[in-house]
A and B are shown apart, each in its own frame.
Chain A
Amino acid sequence: MTSLPHPSYTTVQRQFKTRRRAAFAILVLLLIYLGYLFVSFDIPGLAARAKMDNARILLSDFVAYKTHVTRDNRSDKTTVSIEGEAKATYTPAQYPDWVNVTADTTTIDLGQGHIVTYDAKGARYSVPGYGLIDIQPDGGKLKLTAPQPLPDWINATDTRISVTTPQGRFAYSRSKVETFKYQPGWALFFFTLDSPFYGKSYGQLTAMLTGPRIDPARSNAGYMASEFWHNKQWHHGDVAWALFETVLMAFLGTMGAALVALPLAFLAASNFTPIRTLRFAFRRLFDFVRGVDGLIWTIILARAFGPGPMTGALAILITDSGTFGKTFSEALENIDEKQVEGIRSTGAGPLQRARFGVLPQIAPILLSQVLYYLESNTRSATVIGAIVGGGIGLLLTQAIITQKDWEDVAYYMILIVLMVMAMDSFSGWLRRKLIGR
């Protein structure tokens, strides 16, 4: 034990050297590949293509909303609305306290001393630490009076003047003058402006639950739930349906695939199907179905069944019956034959042998596979829904395509993550209940 014999020492040294060389070669190859990707993906051009303005809009819209105070310069009509949407327009009685509208003057307090005033002469914006920006229409043009030189956050042409400050945005054109105030949060999340419950505090709402009925036909709690469920801005009811549809697609697809794959797996397992060609045919069928991939199945099925959740469920069903067929037949080949022998010795037929000798052995493997796929398919169903037009995936893609309802996108994203995590813990719970691990 004092010292190792010399030859083995050199052998070990040589082995170490070869290994180190191999590791180095792998590293070099990896670096070359990454370099190739760098060129092929055009990473240097990325900076030029990236639109960081979009990122800023998106992030601020995720957590904030803007209120438009607009005066039509032709009709002299002033409206206050959230995100400029017609269905989210305040009635004069509901105007937020930072807007003050009288017969011919509108005063908007943007906070931190920023005051915007519209009146018959034009409009002015008083910026603390800078001065007064005064705009008056003069013939066909806009006349701007402001401390010189103009800072870069004032953008002025003859027909349009816009001012952007940390407190908000202000734009004057010949047809209208607009002020945008940004506020944190998601506006109208619970109740829309036309709802009798809008703008009430939690305390007031709780008191209203037992108070006199607003609508004599139904209780206040029911009215409140219905106003929330049918919220015209956030469509909570439709969103809940979409989430349900997505989970339904995953459930139907996964369970259906398991039901289809189980009998077929017996035909592909060598210990149940002695006929080689049949076995081979079924194995290739599973490989084919898996290889064609969910995307292609989705396209083919969408042509036959039209858009909707059933198409998505069938796409998941077909793709996963290939996967399940493969794993189930592998599980079947690994069973213990002794139990089947025992059942056979009682004179049981093939179906009874399968039910009492085989199924109890493979049930835990099947269940854990199926439950794992149930969770993973909830995610796939979101993607497939975006293609076949069903479920939350569709709502999400639509919201992203409009490129302005980013608060909806954030809402859907949070719901999707919660949905997947809920399915994850549900399938884990079920697995523990049924299999005990």
Chain B
Amino acid sequence: MVDITFGPEPGKRPDLSNPTEAYIHLARRKRLYGFILLILFVALMASGFKIAQDRNAGDFLSGLHQLGAFPSEVLSEAWKNRANLPALLWQHLPSLIETLNIAAAATLLGGAFGAFLALGSTRHLARFPALTPLFRRTADIMRAIPEIVIALILIFILGGGPVPAVLAIAFHTAGALGKLFSESAENADLKPVEGLTSTGASWGQQIWLGIIPQVAPNWLSYALLRFEINIRASAILGFVGSGGIGYDLKLAMQWGGGKYDQVVAIFALLFCAIVVFDQLSGYARNRLVKGQ
């Protein structure tokens, strides 16, 4: 109360009679805070790294020498058997296609459910405005569950194969896309919806004709970005037990020496697929969003 009536204590007030002094004082204090933050950050990084290294099987410096050992062993063996590579690439192509299919199916499924969540959680657009918090929390929780959790449980129930991976990735995708979709739907112009309402259009028609055409480029671009991410996720899930190229990689790795030409073929396929789809989707996204 004293503060409000009489202002802060005189000593704490910046001395405005000498602005240069005041500025330098402020700048110095800011720099000091920045410095303390930096020290804190460096200390956190260093101690974190120390803890991580202590709990690791091998330590950083001795591992650094061996960093090249495994790739060079793999590459030299693959080079010796380079004649096999074209055949191996061809042999693993179906698995790559399966990985891509898993990512595509998960993106389609997750995108559809994400759109449903987004429409339910966007103010002004929701069919039942009272339920928007429920839809939002649902999307938040779906986004928070890592794919591997659902994938491992579904593998236990459904057995291996692509379906657990699709469902697991789609689950996470629905949450992630639901949030992004809802953000872009929030910015949509409501005038078309008003126009449609005046003609007596139903809620479905309002959304389909008034909102979807506006948000479609953005939604498609988000879905494409998600597709890129999902290709990687589907490769990783393959490695922990569902189908696709990740599973082939795991089998080849478990075999160890003697199958390194396979490992190289799989690495190459995966690398090319990721780069190609990144480029394609980057190009498509640019066209969609910027209209170039």
A383's nearest neighbour on chain B, judged by CB, is B148
Check if B55 sits within 8 Å of A303, measured CB to CB: no
Contact partner of A245 among B52, B57, B66, CB < 8 A?
Answer: B52
Given A49-B161, A245-B52, A256-B45, also A295-B149 (CB < 8 A): no
A383 touches B147 (CB 8 A): yes
Beta-carbon contact of A308 and B71 below 8 Å = no
* CB atoms of B53 and A255 under 8 A apart: no
Q: Chain A at the B interface: mostly helix, strand, loop or mixed?
A: helix
CB < 8 Å neighbour of A409 from B108, B153, B158, B267: B153
Q: Interface segment, B11-19, B81-89, B122-130, B137-145?
A: B137-145
Of A303, A390, A421, the most chain B CB neighbours within 10 A belong to A303
* Chain B interface main SS type: helix
Residues of A near B101 (CB, < 8 A) are 37, 40-41
Q: Which B residues are in CB contact (< 8 Å) with A311? A: 56
Known: A41-B163, A300-B71. A400 touches B156 (CB 8 A): yes
Q: How far is the CA of A382 from the CA of B105 in the complex (A)?
A: 23
Query: Would you call B166 an interface residue if the criterion is a C-beta within 8 Å of the partner chain's C-beta atoms?
Result: yes
Alpha-carbon distance between A299 and B41 when the two chains are bound, in angstroms: 29
- A307 contacts B52, CB within 8 Å? no
Interface residues on A, range: 35 or more
A42 part of interface (Cβ distance < 8 Å): yes
Q: A309 contacts B52, CB within 8 Å? A: yes
- Interface-forming stretch among B183-191, B195-203, B231-239, B283-291? B231-239
Cα(A383)–Cα(B104), bound, Å: 21
A276 → chain B, closest Cβ, in Å?
A: 20
The one of B64, B104, B140, B270 that contacts A293, using a Cβ cutoff of 8 Å: B270
| A107 CB, min distance to chain B CBs, angstroms | 37
Which residues 365-384 in A have Cβ within 8 Å of B in the complex? 379-380, 382-383
Out of A51, A58, A305, name the residue touching B58 (CB < 8 Å).
Answer: A305
Chain B contacts of A287 at CB under 8 A? 275, 278
A295 touches B274 (CB 8 A): no
Interface string of B201-213 (1 = CB under 8 A from A): 0000000000000
CB of B157 within 8 A of chain A?
Answer: yes
* Given known A383-B146, A420-B144, contact A293–B271 (CB-CB < 8 A): yes
Instruction: Please determine whether A310 and B55 come into contact, CB atoms closer than 8 angstroms.
Output: yes
Q: With an 8 A cutoff between CB atoms, is B63 at the interface?
A: yes
Q: B140 and A421: CB pair below 8 A?
A: yes
Does A350 make an interface contact (CB < 8 A)? no
CB-based contact A50/B57 at 8 Å: no
Instruction: Report which residue of B70, B157, B240 has the largest number of chain A beta carbons within 10 angstroms of its beta carbon.
Output: B157
A416-B166 contact given A248-B51, A293-B270, CB 8 Å threshold: no
Chain B contact-residue range equals 35 or more
A398 to chain B, nearest CB (A): 11
B56: contacting residue among A42, A251, A305, A380, CB under 8 A? A305
Q: CA of A393 to CA of B45 in the docked complex: distance in angstroms?
A: 22
Q: Is the CB of A304 within 8 A of B52?
A: no
* Complex CA–CA separation, A301 to B51 (angstroms): 18
Complexed CA–CA distance, A421 and B146 (Å): 11
Whether B144 and A307, one on each chain, are in contact in the complex, defined by CB atoms closer than 8 angstroms, is no
Q: Find B156's partner among A54, A245, A306 (CB 8 Å cutoff).
A: A54
B166 & A291 in contact (Cβ 8 Å cutoff)? no
- Determine whether B49 belongs to the interface, using a CB cutoff of 8 Å to chain A: yes
Given contacts A41-B163, A291-B274, A300-B70, contact A308 B240 (CB under 8 A): no
Of B49, B148, B157, B240, the contact of A252 (CB 8 Å cutoff): B49
Q: Which of B146-176 contact A (CB under 8 A)?
A: 146-149, 152-153, 156-159, 161-163, 166
Known A58-B157, A293-B232, A295-B239: A393·B148 in contact at CB below 8 Å: yes
A243 within 8 A of B: no
Question: What is the minimal beta-carbon distance from B37 to any residue of chain A, in angstroms?
Answer: 10
A43, A249, A403: which contacts B163 (Cβ < 8 A)?
A43
Known A46-B158, A49-B158; contact A310-B52, beta-carbon cutoff 8 A: yes
Asked if residues B52 and A295 are in contact (CB atoms below 8 Å), the reply is no
What is the chain A residue whose CB lies nearest that of B274? A291
Q: Report A139-170 CB contacts with B as 1/0, cut-off 8 Å.
A: 00000000000000000000000000000000
**Do A396 and B152 contact each other (CB < 8 Å), given the known contacts A303-B69, A308-B57, A309-B55?**
yes
Among B41, B67, B146, the residue within 8 A (CB) of A304 is B67
Chain A interface residues toward B at CB < 8 A? 30, 33-34, 37, 40-43, 46, 49-52, 54-55, 58, 245, 248-249, 251-252, 255-256, 287, 290-296, 299-301, 303-311, 313, 379-380, 382-383, 386-387, 390, 393, 396-397, 400, 403, 409, 413, 416-417, 420-421, 424
Shortest Cβ-Cβ A-B pairs, 5 listed: A306-B57, A308-B56, A306-B58, A305-B63, A303-B70
Name 26 interchain pairs, CB-CB below 8 A, sorted by A. Answer: A34-B108, A41-B161, A42-B161, A49-B161, A51-B157, A52-B157, A54-B156, A58-B156, A249-B52, A252-B52, A287-B278, A293-B270, A294-B232, A296-B271, A303-B70, A304-B67, A305-B59, A306-B56, A313-B52, A382-B146, A383-B146, A390-B55, A397-B148, A416-B145, A416-B149, A417-B145
